[in-house]
Structures are given as C-alpha cells and as structure tokens.
Amino acid sequence: MTSTGPLGRPFSRRRLLAGAAGAAALIPLAACGGEGGGASGGSGGRLRAAFAAGGSQETLDPHRLPQFVDQARAKAVFDTLGKWEQDMSVSPRLAESWESDATGTRWNVRLRQASFHDGRPLRAADVLYTYRRVADPATTATVANLVNQIDFTASRAASDRELEFVLARPNRLFPLVFGSYGTEIVPEGTTDFTNPVGTGPFSFVSFTPGGPALYKRFDGHWGGAPTLEELELVPINDESARVGALLSGQVQYAHDLRATSAQQLESDGRTRVLAAEGATSQFIHLKVDRPPFDDPRLREAFRLGLDRDALARVALLGRGRPGNDLFGPGLQYYPSNVAQISRDVDRARALVDQAGARGLTVELSTAITDPAWQPATTLVVEQLAEIGMQITPKIVPPDIYFADVRKNATSCHSRTGTLPIPNWISTTLLSTVTNSFTKYANPQIDAQYAAALADPDEAARAETITGILQTARAESGSLVWGVSDWIVGVSSEVGGLDAYRPNTYDWANFSRATLG
C-alpha cells in the first residue's frame, strides 16, 4: 500500500545597481484597488514584489509557465492538488488524501471542500478537466510530460469530491505530479485566462502583459484568508534596478539577486536577504542533434574545457559551488559517489584536434534572465579559447529567450530550480519531451525510467534512477557548471517569508506574508 505521506520516501500504506530615482522610473504600478503606499500595518496593506518578466507576450494561463514570475502569478490565484515541501516530498493541498491500488496504476483522490473565487465549489470534474488540458498538445503546457501517463478515457469522477486516475502504466511516485507547478486546478471548461478564477489565496484584479499584476485577498480561501489586503507583482527585468527599487521602498520584495547585491542588502538595516543554499542548478546545454555537438568528442571537449572552480568563484561570488554535470545534489536519488569532474585542457584540446575542429566558432546564447550568466559567459569564452573553440555570445531578449534557445540555439545557458529528480527526468530526458534544450533522446532511458516507476522495491528504484542520471551526465549534452544559492531581498518590514527553494510551494507564495 502507498499513502499520502511525504513522497520521496517509501509509503507506509497505499492510499546592474540603479539608484532609487532611476528604479522608481522603471516601475509601472497598478492604479486600482486599495492604498498605493505599501505597508499599512501587520493586518493588511499592499505588498509589491519585483520579478524579471516576459514582456508583451505574457499570459495568465497557469499551465504555461516559462518564467518564475509566471509561477508567482499562478500561486496567487490557483491551488494544486499537493505541494512540494523543501525536500521535494509532496503533501496534500486541494487533495485531502490519495491512495493507490496494489499495481500502482489506479489512484483514488479525495478532495477537500474548497470554493473558487466566483463561489463555485471545487469538484472532481474540475480536476479531470485541468489534467486533460495540461496533457493536450494544443495547450503547449509546461509539464505535459508529467500527465501524459493518465488514461483519461478510463479515469473518472466517482463523486463531486472523489476521483480515480487510471494510468497507462504503473507509477509508484505518481503523487509527485500533484505538487508540480503547471498543474494548477481551473474550473471545468475554462479556456480564457484574461480574468482568471481559481481557488487560491488571492483573486484577480488587473494585469497588463509586460506590466504589473494586481490581486486582492480572497476571504473565502479554504486555508484561511491572507493577511495582506493586496499583492502586486511588478516587472523589473534589470537586477540592479530591482535592488534599487527595494532600497527606495518602491517594492518590498526583490526576486533573484546576485551575490554582490546580497552583500549590499545585508549591510543595510532597511532590508534582509533570504538565501536558499544550493537551490539552483546552472546549466550550459549543447544540442546533440546537430553540428557541432552531434560529435561526442566535441561535447566532451567542451565539458573538460570548463573551469568550474573559476566559474563558481567569479560568477557566483561565493553564493554557490562548482557543479558536476548532475542535477539535484542533496535530493533523493542523487548519485553521491560520482567523482567531481576536473578541468583537463590537454585532453580537451586533443579531442578538438581529433574532430578536426580547431578554431571552431560556436554561438552561446544568453540573456539577462539570470544575473550569473553574463560573468559566466565571459569566463567560458576565455576558457574554451584555450582548447581551440571560439565561443561567440548571442544575447537573446528575455521575453523570447527560452522558446528561442530550445528551438534554435547550438548552445545556451539555462537554470533549473529544485525539483524532484523523477520529475526532472520526465520533463527533460525522455524521448517524449519535444521542447528539450539538447534534443537528446535515448530509448534505453525511457525503458529504465518506466521500470523504476513501476518497481515496488525502493532500493531497486533508487539504483535505476541514479543510473539514469549517470548515463545522462555522459551523453545528454547538459552540463551543470555550478550550483547556486537562490537569493531574494525583502524589506525589513516584511514577515512570514523565509529562504525557500524555488519551485517549492512556499517559494514566491505570499499567502502568509505580512507588512509592518
């Protein structure tokens, strides 16, 4: 039997720095609703949170979440069936409980009593509709690969508060899906998200693509109403401008900051720093389906040419450590016995020569999306010149960055916050993933992953999953050059927030935040 206890463990039963004036000029503030001045005491007020955003093409569709700000907007309005804790185990949210049959192919879910913002009760039909929508290729959902295992013809609502998911194949870890971003529950039949309705702690007020999003407290929230009266998510793409806005009092929360900014904020009594250690994997992805990185010698040369110690020291500035081309250090299923890769210039140069590629020019796509990418790119250019590769940076606008690099980039920067390792495999490595960064596909990994999910033996499952990670390390073209801290700055008047890992339920969640 398996039950709702924290997943990731065997179940016990089934079941640049801008000044204050410059920052102020960059911030479009919502004009409607409540007081515009931020804090009005611990029992209300409007909290303004600054994020890098995606520009004029943004939507409020909770199933399409290309950037972290999209997750923050979705968390304000919607809820998921479960929530990922800081260790990436899953616990109940809209799902009150769940249990599986002996085969791991049928999962019964009981919903708690909850209401949408328009007064409609949450029903099993809403959950089934949501998961069908996420699985529909027409949605282009962020985590479609997590739910395409569901047989929607056989799955059914047993009552308004009970449903049965029937899976096409056994999955002992299926409830991990319930905590994933991109699976937020929407009312049955919803196709238009210009005025979104959810069961979340805040209800929608206004939004302009590329501009601010404003929400108000939902007093009927099943988990209790937030303390804040209003929440405003403000787009500020430049990291130094986010810091300036925080110091000037224009915002009370500044997301995704550099280590140098953290040092500045820590020395200022007006602000605090919330840093989740080692919460983010910094990647350079090499496309393996096209030249030049369809040649494994050049992938290995790139890999051996990187000086990860220098990258961590300079680009992460002490707020991180060298990576080892493996995702998820510290999480369940991470292979802890793999030796740290070290730079080998002679071997890398020899591989370049064997491939007849001395002087090869390679584009490396980057953006202002992550504050560490610019200094990392500068170092990569210098380091790979030593092995005979000429790296040319290509700056891509942040609003199209991830869509562009998945399709077009020969090599690119990316980053991934904390995720359950099985979910990362499902959305990154499997052959069914159509929007991967590297275009890597290996039918052997597909088969091994399916076998791991079906295996009732936890030790055997762990051995299989760690083996998948090591195969991907050697072949996939995804290089983890660093593991960075996740840094957020907040006003000293903000309470109720902590140093949460990105992608967990509590991160970028303002339902318990206070002002004053």
CATH 3.50.50.60 fits 1-15+57-200, yes or no: no
Count Cβ atoms below 10 Å from residue 137 Cβ, excluding itself: 9
CA angle 322/399/185 to nearest 5° reads 90
pLDDT recorded at residue 336: 87
CA angle 141/435/335 to nearest 5° reads 100
Q: Scan for tokens 């609502």, then name that residue.
A: 157
Q: What CA–CA distance (Å, rounded) separates 454 from 347?
A: 41
pLDDT recorded at residue 352: 98
Q: How confident is the model at residue 314 (pLDDT cuts 50, 70, 90)?
A: very high
pLDDT recorded at residue 30: 60
> Strand, coil or helix: what is 482?
strand
pLDDT recorded at residue 5: 38
Q: What CA–CA distance (Å, rounded) separates 293 from 97?
A: 46
pLDDT recorded at residue 27: 53
Q: What CA–CA distance (Å, rounded) separates 122 from 186?
A: 9
- Compute the mean pLDDT over every residue in the chain, rounded to the nearest whole number: 92
| Residues 233-291 pLDDT 10s | 999 999 999 999 999 999 999 999 999 999 999 999 999 999 999 999 999 999 999 99
Residue 26 has pLDDT above 70, yes or no: no
Distance set, CA 292 to CA 304, 346, 403, 498 (Å): 16, 20, 21, 44
Residue 23 has pLDDT above 50, yes or no: no
Q: Which of 6-15, 157-166, 447-456 has the lowest mean pLDDT?
A: 6-15
- Give yes or no for a contact between 79 and 73, defined as CB atoms under 8 angstroms apart: no
pLDDT recorded at residue 206: 98
Location of each CATH 3.10.105.10 domain in the chain: 279-485
CATH 3.10.105.10 fits 279-485, yes or no: yes
pLDDT recorded at residue 369: 86
Average pLDDT over residues 482-506: 97
| Residues 28-58 pLDDT 10s | 556 444 433 443 334 689 999 999 998 888 9
Residue 20 has pLDDT above 50, yes or no: no
| Residues 122-147 pLDDT 10s | 999 999 999 999 999 999 999 999 99
Average pLDDT over residues 350-361: 98
| Residues 176-230 pLDDT 10s | 999 999 999 999 999 999 999 999 999 999 999 999 999 999 999 999 999 999 9
pLDDT recorded at residue 472: 97
Residue 6 has pLDDT above 50, yes or no: no
Average pLDDT over residues 4-21: 34
For residue 422, give every residue at least 6 positions away whose Cβ sits within 8 Å of its Cβ, in sequence order, or none: 173, 176, 333, 449, 452, 453, 465
Q: Specify the amino acid at residue 9.
A: R
Location of each CATH 3.90.76.10 domain in the chain: 1-15+57-200
Distance set, CA 84 to CA 141, 176, 244, 480 (Å): 19, 8, 32, 23
Backbone angles phi, psi at 37, to 5 degrees: -100, 15
Share of the chain above pLDDT 70, in %: 92
Residue 301 has pLDDT above 50, yes or no: yes
Average pLDDT over residues 70-90: 97
